[in-house]
């Protein structure tokens, strides 16, 4: 609803669109509480939002005084109609994605805008997700919106040229949005799942539009499906993180794995190779429980990925795969070359690799990892590993 209204009111009046949607849901909460949920809740919401938007324009003469001069004559009729058809909703959301993912803003600002405008997250929820102060998130959003206004970006169906120039930024924003949920330092389990599901919803919009249904978009959605399939198995009922090898595979979502397979096939239909295809391939191999050459294949994909785009996390994940192929001692030698002393995952990996042969060294690295990580769940899991190792010495 915000996306459709946003296209009509424009970026300068985005708060109006958001207020109308908020008022619509407030009215739904009041009306449905006494009269019950209507037979078609979505249609009810769209009708109320449409009427509220029309009433607003009539009361404040916004269309006559501010908007008419900003839109072309052939757009005037459309602006009055507030069409909430499925096609208009899909087109509006696609236009919003490209508006929000503006490289004029920082990556963090793009993600915050995506969470607020596209996903409906409150400032408090974003602060929870980023482990940041509410005031920090507010200022980030204010700066990001000001940047978009200064850029004079118009909300309209993106043409082929705009898509070509912006798609990499859009994919990267959705990738980071998903990762913020999947690897979140926040202890709020619901926020983490919401971030992932919203990133997947937006990626799905890209794959369903002919202009944006590229192999990279399909690969990104495949990656998200594979990763999300293990969500329920990644933590225990008490909030402990469960390592991949210790996960109950019965908890893996087979339907999401199947969807991931479908999108990965679509992603392999072209001649281009991106980080998303490689990461999706790695994630696919993780869904294959027993293949004698599984880790060799994963290591090869990491070798290619690190050439395309290096990052400390990619290097650490590659080192784990390297250790699975060549042994823990070789893995330790590979890891120490990275010299990521300030990275909690670096010390957690070394703790894992030392655990079988040098308990004091493993405990020392686990202790450093606990000191460096912000995640309460990670601290708990690492402390449990230390207790287990110390118990083996007695």
Q: What range defines the domain where residue 277 resides? A: 226-289
What's the whole-model pTM score? Answer: 0.78
| Per-residue confidence (pLDDT) for residue 76, from 0 to 100 | 40
Q: What is the Cα–Cα distance from 235 to 238, expressed in whole angstroms?
A: 8
Average pLDDT, the chain: 85
Residue 392: CATH number of its domain:
1.25.40.10
Q: Are residues 233 and 270 in the same domain?
A: yes
Q: Which distant-in-sequence residues (6+ apart) come within 8 Å of 259 by Cβ? A: 225
Say how many domains are in the chain. Answer: 2
Task: Evaluate whether residue 193 is within a structural domain.
Answer: no
| Per-residue confidence (pLDDT) for residue 75, from 0 to 100 | 43
Q: Are residues 252 and 310 in the same domain?
A: no
How far, in Å, are 24, 32, 43 from residue 37 at the CA level? 14, 5, 12
Q: What is the Cα–Cα distance from 16 to 2, expressed in whole angstroms?
A: 9
In this prediction, the residues of the chain whose per-residue pLDDT falls under 70 are 10-13, 60-82, 131, 151-158, 185-191, 239, 394
Task: Evaluate whether residue 246 is within a structural domain.
Answer: yes
Q: Are residues 318 and 260 in the same domain?
A: no
Q: What is the Cα–Cα distance from 50 to 81, expressed in whole angstroms?
A: 8
Q: Two tokens at 118?
A: 């596209």
67, 66, 87, 89: which is closest to 76 by C-alpha?
A: 67
Task: Evaluate whether residue 186 is within a structural domain.
Answer: no
Query: In 332-363, which positions are buried (b, 16+ CB within 10 angstroms) versus exposed (e)?
Result: bebbeebebeebbbbbbbbbbbbbeeebeebb
Q: Are residues 332 and 255 in the same domain?
A: no
Task: Evaluate whether residue 86 is within a structural domain.
Answer: no
Task: Evaluate whether residue 252 is within a structural domain.
Answer: yes
| Per-residue confidence (pLDDT) for residue 156, from 0 to 100 | 59
Q: Are residues 281 and 312 in the same domain?
A: no
Asked whether the beta carbons of 310 and 344 are under 8 A apart, the reply is no
Q: Are residues 309 and 390 in the same domain?
A: yes
Q: Name 241's bridge partners.
A: 235
Tokens 């990521």, residue located: 340
136, 221, 241, 219: which is closest to 177 by C-alpha?
A: 221
> Helix H segments across the chain?
2-9, 14-35, 41-60, 62, 73-81, 86-100, 107-113, 123-130, 134-151, 160-182, 189-207, 215-228, 254-267, 275-286, 294-308, 312-326, 328-336, 344-354, 359-372, 376-393
Task: Evaluate whether residue 264 is within a structural domain.
Answer: yes
Q: Are residues 327 and 277 in the same domain?
A: no
* Angle between helical axes of 2-9 and 86-100 (0-180°, round to 10): 70
């Amino acid at each position: 609803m915000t996306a459709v209204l946003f296209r009509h009111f424009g970026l300068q009046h985005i708060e109006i669109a958001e207020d109308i949607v908020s008022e619509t849901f407030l009215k739904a909460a009041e009306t449905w509480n006494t009269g019950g949920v209507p037979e078609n809740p979505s249609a009810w919401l769209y009708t109320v939002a449409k009427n509220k938007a029309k009433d607003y324009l009539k009361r404040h003469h916004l269309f006559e005084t501010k908007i008419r001069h900003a839109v072309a004559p052939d757009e005037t009729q459309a602006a009055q109609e507030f069409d909430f058809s499925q096609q208009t909703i899909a087109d509006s959301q696609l236009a919003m994605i490209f508006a929000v993912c503006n490289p004029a803003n920082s990556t963090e600002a793009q993600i915050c805008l995506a969470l607020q405008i596209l996903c409906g997250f409150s400032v408090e929820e974003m602060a929870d997700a980023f482990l940041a102060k509410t005031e920090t998130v507010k200022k980030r959003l204010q700066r990001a919106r000001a940047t978009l206004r200064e850029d004079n970006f118009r909300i309209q169906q993106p043409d082929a040229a705009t898509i070509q120039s912006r798609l990499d930024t859009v994919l990267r924003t959705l990738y980071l949005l998903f990762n913020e949920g999947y690897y979140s330092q926040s202890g709020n389990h619901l926020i983490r799942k919401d971030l992932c599901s919203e990133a997947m919803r937006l990626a799905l919009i890209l794959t369903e539009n002919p202009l944006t249904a590229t192999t990279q978009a399909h690969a990104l959605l495949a990656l998200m499906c594979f990763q999300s399939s293990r969500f329920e198995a990644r933590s225990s009922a008490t909030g402990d993180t469960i390592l991949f090898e210790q996960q109950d595979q019965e908890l893996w979502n087979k339907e999401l794995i199947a969807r991931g397979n479908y999108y990965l096939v679509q992603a392999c239909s072209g001649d281009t190779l991106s980080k998303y295809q490689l990461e999706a391939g790695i994630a696919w191999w993780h869904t294959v429980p027993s293949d004698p050459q599984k880790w060799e294949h994963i290591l090869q994909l990491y070798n290619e990925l690190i050439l395309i785009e290096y990052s400390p996390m990619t290097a650490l994940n590659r080192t784990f795969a390297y250790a699975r192929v060549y042994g823990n001692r070789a893995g330790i030698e590979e890891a120490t070359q990275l010299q990521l002393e300030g990275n909690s995952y670096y010390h957690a990996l070394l703790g894992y690799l030392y655990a079988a042969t040098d308990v004091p060294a493993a405990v020392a690295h686990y202790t450093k990892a606990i000191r460096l990580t912000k995640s309460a769940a990670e601290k708990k899991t690492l402390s449990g590993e230390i207790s287990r190792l110390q118990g083996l010495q007695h």
